[in-house]
Amino acid sequence: MSGRSVRRHVTSGLMTSLVAVLSFTAVFALVLILADLIAKGASSLDWDFFTKNPVPAGQSGGGVANAIVGTGIIVGLAALIGLPVGVGTGLYLAEYGSGRLGWTVRFVADVLNGTPSIVIGIFAWTRLVRPMHGYSALAGSVALAALMIPMIARTTEEMVRLVPHSLREAALALGYPRWRTSLRVVARTALAGIVTGCLVGIARIAGETAPLIFTALGNLNFTTNITQPMQTLPHEIYEYAQGPFEEWHRLAWASALVLMSLVLLLGVTARWAIRQRHGAAR
């Protein structure tokens, strides 16, 4: 081998190791963050944490029951608003989306997908908070729903498009009307994929804070009234992390661990649903 050839092979080997090292660095960052979450959060996860409300600032003890319930209500309500519209839009794009309106909707969905969530928050503020003269959980839910609709629409469309044409044609040939074909044959076949998309969408909005700051605001007390300000886990972490008290920081870490587990749980369920679909396809 000439010197030049050796140098070329050494370069190749070095660069190969370099990209491997870079990959493991990225994975290492994830491991580091998860490890910190567990190390700093796990010890605070006790019965009080889940069942008690916050105590006045500076005192120790208390929990985040209000934020956990609030996250459940706001995210649930957002899903209730966002899922039908998102899935419907996705079905429209897959079934009738070849025309100009389809192109427009697809383009708009992509634009909104890239829109900063804080800007969506401004939208909810002008449409709901200002007219109603007050922050409310409902406004937060609408903002989160607006965030999830474009995401769910695009994944639903992709999943429905994966259904083989022969299936649809067979149903139509049997005299099924189009709508029943679409709902009972096509959508049902793509169901696992659609559900996955919905779960991923819910997981994404469950961790969102920015659109909630000036819509749902946050609340130190326990409430289930959706016309009132309501606390959520992400917003509570945001407030507590920046506060001066050790006790708040402790609660923030524990809340972050809970929020992260929730998001991961949804993600893992989604992956499980994908596996179901692949199983069914075989």
Site for another protein in 5-34 (CB under 8 A): 8-9, 11-13, 15-16, 18-23, 25-27, 29-33
Candidate residues 64, 74, 78, 105; the one interacting with another protein per rule CB under 8 A: 105
- Nearer CB in complex with another protein: 119/167: 119
Report the chain's C-alpha Rg in angstroms. 24
Instruction: Give CA separation, 234 vs 1, 224, 249, in Å.
Output: 61, 17, 13
| 46 alpha-carbon distance from chain centroid | 26
Q: Which of 78, 144, 190, 259 binds another protein (CB under 8 A)?
A: 259
Report in angstroms how near the CB of residue 220 gets to another protein at its nearest: 17
- Positions 168 through 227 that interact with another protein (CB under 8 A): 177-180, 182-183, 203, 206-210, 213-214, 217
Residue 194 and residue 203: Cα distance in Å, rounded?
A: 14
Restricted to residues 56-95, the positions that interact with another protein (CB under 8 A) are: 84-85, 88-89, 91-93, 95
Q: Near another protein by CB under 8 A, which window of 64-72, 106-114, 184-192, 222-230?
A: 106-114
Q: Are 68 and 258 in contact (CB under 8 A)?
A: yes
Using CB under 8 A, which of the segments 55-63, 69-77, 221-229, 256-264 binds another protein? Answer: 256-264
The least CB distance from residue 30 to another protein, in Å, is 5
Largest CA-CA distance found in the chain, in angstroms, rounded = 80
Q: How far is the CB of 93 from another protein (least distance, A)?
A: 7
Judged by CB under 8 A, the residue of 48, 53, 72, 117 near another protein is: 117
Q: What are phi and psi of 107, to 5 degrees?
A: -65, -45
Instruction: Output 178 or 188, the one with its CB closest to another protein.
Output: 178
Query: CA 72 from chain center: how many Å?
Result: 13
Return the half-sphere exposure (C-beta side, CA atoms, 13 A cut-off) of residue 236: 33
**In the bound complex, what is the minimum distance in angstroms from residue 164's beta carbon to another protein?**
17
Give the nearest distance from C-beta 125 to another protein in angstroms: 7
Cβ burial 170-195 (10 Å sphere, 16+ → b, else e): ebeeeebeeeebbeebbbebbebbbb
